């Protein structure tokens, strides 16, 4: 499935530290990842580490560590802009003017 996604789409790995992943989830009010499970952070680190070789195959990497939502969005737009510009017709756009 992942190979199909990589061959069919422009993919972006939104990269962050495990602690930030957990803080973002908790910041949204979802306490389940840590609910009565002291090993949750260790498990998250293990999961992310095991997936890193797959995620690293993405077309682009946007490191969102320590960024605000606006700053992360700006980096994401910067990562997508060249593709939108060169493939504007594929996306049904007349131009990629921002």
Domain boundaries, the chain: 2-67
pLDDT of residue 98: 46
Lowest mean pLDDT across 3-7, 29-33, 58-62: 29-33
Average pLDDT, stretch 58-81?
Answer: 92
Task: Assess contact for 80 and 90: CB atoms under 8 A.
Answer: no
pLDDT reported for residue 67: 92
- Percentage of the residues of the chain whose pLDDT score is greater than 70: 81
Determine the pLDDT at residue 96.
46
Contact status, residue 84 vs residue 93, Cβ threshold 8 Å? yes
Report if pTM > 0.75.
Answer: no
For the domain made up of 2-67, the CATH class stated in words is alpha beta
The sign of the dihedral angle between the CA atoms of 45, 47, 52, 53 is positive
């Amino acid at each position: 499935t992942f190979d199909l996604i990589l061959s069919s789409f422009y993919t972006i790995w939104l990269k962050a530290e495990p602690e930030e992943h957990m803080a973002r989830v908790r910041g949204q009010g979802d306490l389940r990842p840590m609910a009565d499970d002291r090993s949750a952070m260790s498990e998250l680190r293990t999961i992310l580490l095991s997936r890193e070789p797959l995620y690293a195959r993405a077309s682009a990497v946007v490191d969102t560590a320590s960024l605000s939502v606006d700053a992360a969005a700006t980096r994401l737009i910067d990562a997508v802009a060249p593709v939108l510009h060169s493939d504007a017709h594929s996306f049904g756009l007349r131009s990629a003017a921002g």
